[in-house]
Structures are given as C-alpha cells and as structure tokens.
Structure 1
Amino acid sequence: MQSLAAVNINKYFYDPQEFHVLKEVSFEVKRGEFISVVGKSGSGKSTLLYLLSTLDTAYTGSIAINGTTVTGLTQNQLATFRNEHIGFVFQFHYLLPEFTVLDNVMLPALKLNKRPKEEIREKALDLLTLLDVRGHEHKKASMISGGQQQRVAIARALINDPAIIMGDEPTGNLDSKNTKTVFNIFRQLARERNQTIIAVTHDDEFAANCDRIIEMVDGRIIAQHP
C-alpha cells in the first residue's frame, strides 16, 4: 500500500534571486518502508522534506499522503492533517524543557483531542516503555540525557499513530552509540509496526542500512539504491 507519492515537484526560491531548488522530483514510498534521503548541502533534500511534511506549500506538482492529496489544502486543513498523519523527529528534539517527559509525549494527542486523556496517558506510557525511557516520565525534559531526549521525541512523534515519520537529521546531534539506538528504533518501527519512515541524513552508515536510499544532486533525484 502506498504511503506517499510525490509527482513532478518543482520549487523555486526568489530571494535574493530566482533559484530552481527542486526540479521535477517524483517518487513513491510504500507503507512500512524505511527510506533515507541523501545528498550534499544545497542538494535540496531538506527543502524536499519540508514540502513532504506540508510545512511549505509554495511548489508545483502534487503530493499525496495516506491516500489524501495534500496539495491545495488550506493552512488550517494542513495543520490538522499534519497532527494526525505525520510525526516529526528533528536533529534537535524540541521538547518543552519545563514540561515533564510524559506531558511532552501526550501533547500532540491532547491537541488532536480524539481520545480521552487517560487513554492518551496510557498510550504515552506504553511508548516510553517501547523506547526504553520508562521510569523518567515524571522528570522534566531538561533533566534527562540527550539520547533519552531524542527517544522521547520519537515517542511524541508516534502518539497519534501517524502514517509517516519524517526525520530531519534525526541522529545529527547524537554520539555513535545513541545514533545506533535511534536507528534500531526506526528499524523496529518499520518492521514490527509497519511505520513509514523518511529520514534526511548526512550519516552514510545510517543511510546504508535503510530499505532504500534516495540520492539527490542539484535539486534532482539522480539515483535510488535498494
């Protein structure tokens, strides 16, 4: 089953001068596939992720996620869609430091407001167990280690059962041990939970172990390696 389809995506920047940053980009991602997008700085990979995550709507072409064409939706529609269907894991965890670990994980689900608070709490605790950070749920997010913070960020990304997890350099701030841990979590999520994962990375070893590598140069996909 298809999880994402991008068709003939073109993107321009106009400041300080016109620059064609993405050129006729087309690809599909199947449900449960773990994909990395690689390329040198300026290749367009982070810009592409920004479009796929519906945070930038100034492009031509079309993007469909989980059977819904998101191109052309209003900002309010996109905000609701993102919260329900897309989980984000960034290079920096973006946890709220004064909130507890548990509150950080629960937040997107409380915002979506589709389940009772107690059910959300139980789901959050289950995810913290899955990600091996159970026991820290009542600590403030600022009081746990960097590797633990990134695992909490993954739990937060999973709380609404998103169709896709999008990672922007998700291991960029981690040492090699924690990088391996986070990679193994993603691998487990894809294999055991049929979670679709698209990660932009500079880490060659991380990319090499994914299901597929999408390689970008100068705004184009030049190769896809299984």
Structure 2
Amino acid sequence: MQEVILEARGINKEFHDPVTVQVLRDVTFAVNKGEFVSVIGKSGCGKSTLLYILSTMDTDYTGELYIDKELMSGRPDVELARIRNEKIGFVFQFHYLLNEFTVLRNVMLPGLKLGRYSEQEVEHRAIERLKMLGIAHLAKQSAYRISGGEKQRVAIARALINDPHIIMGDEPTGNLDKRNSDIVFNIFKELTEAHNQTLLIVTHDPEFAENSHRIIEMEDGRIIRQ
C-alpha cells in the first residue's frame, strides 16, 4: 500500500482586504511517498496560496492538513517551525542564499538549526548533498560568486540537508534558462527515482509538469484535475 506523506482535506481560504474573497475552495488531495507532483493553473488560481498552507507557513484556513499522517491544523507556531525544518524542504523561484556565507555554510544552516547532528556531521552531510548534485567543487565559494543555475542547485542541496519527508517548490525553474531548467528538472526526477524523495512543485512550465509523475490542475481556487 502507498504511504501517504501529505494530505489536504477540505482546505478553504479567504482573504479579507477589504472585501472577503474566497481563494481556495474545498481543496482535497493526497501525495504519496516518492511521488513527483506538479501543481499548475493560471496566475491567481490559488497555487502559491495553497503551497503556503501546505508548508504550514499560513495557518489562517479551514480544513485539515496532515504531514506524515500527523494533523498540522491548530498547532502553535513554534511547533510548526520545528516540523517545517525537520520534515519539509523548500526550493523557491529565488534561491534565498546568504551571500556573506560560503555555499557549504548555506547548505548546512537548516541542519545546524535542527540540532540533530554535530556541526561536523552536518558539514559531512552537506558535502554529500553537494556531491549528489555535482557541485561539491563550489563548497568553499562565496554564494554571491556562483551562477544562477548553480545557486538553485545549492538551494536544492539545502532543502535536502535534513532528509525531509517532502520537498515543496514554488516556481523553482521560473528564473532559469532552458538549460538550467532542464538540469533542475533532471535533479528532481533523479531524487524521486533513485532516492524515493517526495516532491510537490508549483510551476508555470507545461513541459516540466508533463514530465512529472502527476499533475494537479487548479482553477479559481479549486482542483479541476488530479
């Protein structure tokens, strides 16, 4: 039987600014371990809003969210922050690397924050992730000195440092040219196929979505295909 890593049940979300607008309507779906799922839909359909709820960063919604079979809804912020760091890896359109740090240190930061391993062990794990992504030679470089495509690979290594249950991405190839987009896609594909990593990626790129395992399509805050 498939192991469910993430499940949304009847998620609804409203914005109140200044009038009430419903942006998500009864969103229900599940993601299994090792699945590579793309979320698509026109701008404004609610994709990014949904991702922020699924990542536990937005708690102002109704419905139920489960990660690793545990209910996230209604938990205090400090607990959600710990769960995020431990169970979710993030890859955004912008890499959000800290320019003053080396590539290696950027990858290490979530591991140091988690505090599960010694600094020496976190460094070893970070180097292993950089090797996996073919960028170990950049470890000692300052983050600001590497290319955009390399920065996004560093961001993926950082997302992997704590062995998350799921990696969530918000347009992770949105700022990249075709060559680097293909590199990032192939990394994601290999993560699912070789390492059974679960991925949930919001994308505008139809080719990216078509080559993932499954597409969830949204329209006007609803899921119309999954």
TM-score bracket for the superposition, by shorter chain length: over 0.9
- Deviation of residue 192 (structure 1)? 1.1
C-alpha distance in 2, partners of 1:118/1:223?
46
Count residues in correspondence. 224
Q: SS state of the match for residue 188, structure 1?
A: helix
C-alpha distance in 2, partners of 1:16/1:132?
49
C-alpha distance in 2, partners of 1:192/1:96?
29
1:207 maps onto 2:212 in alignment: no
User: What are the equivalent positions in structure 2 for 1:58-73 lying under 5 Å apart?
Assistant: 58-73=60-75
Residue 92 (structure 1) aligns with: 94
Cα distance per residue 1:173-220 (max 9 Å; x no partner): 000000000000001111111111000000000000000000000000
Q: SS state of the match for residue 138, structure 2?
A: coil
Q: SS state of the match for residue 9, structure 1?
A: strand
Residue 189 (structure 1) aligns with: 191
User: What are the equivalent positions in structure 2 for 1:22-37 lying under 5 Å apart?
Assistant: 22-37=24-39
1:161 to 160, 163, 178: 163
User: What are the equivalent positions in structure 2 for 1:1-226 lying under 5 Å apart?
Assistant: 1-224=3-226
Structure 2, gaps ≥5 residues long: none
Q: SS state of the match for residue 135, structure 1?
A: helix
- The letter for the 1-side match of 2:147 is S
C-alpha distance in 2, partners of 1:68/1:142?
38
- The letter for the 2-side match of 1:174 is L
- The letter for the 1-side match of 2:167 is I
Cα distance per residue 1:108-153 (max 9 Å; x no partner): 0001111011111111001101111111111100000000000000
C-alpha distance in 2, partners of 1:67/1:214?
21
- Deviation of residue 67 (structure 1)? 1.6
C-alpha distance in 2, partners of 1:18/1:134?
49
- Deviation of residue 16 (structure 1)? 2.3
- The letter for the 1-side match of 2:136 is R
- The letter for the 1-side match of 2:45 is S
Structure 1, gaps ≥5 residues long: none
Q: SS state of the match for residue 172, structure 1?
A: coil
RMSD: 0.5
Q: SS state of the match for residue 37, structure 2?
A: strand
Q: SS state of the match for residue 36, structure 1?
A: strand
Cα distance per residue 1:84-126 (max 9 Å; x no partner): 0000000000000010000000000001111011111111001
Q: TM-score, normalised by structure 2?
A: 0.98
- The letter for the 2-side match of 1:130 is M
Fraction of identical pairs, as percent: 58
Q: SS state of the match for residue 73, structure 1?
A: coil
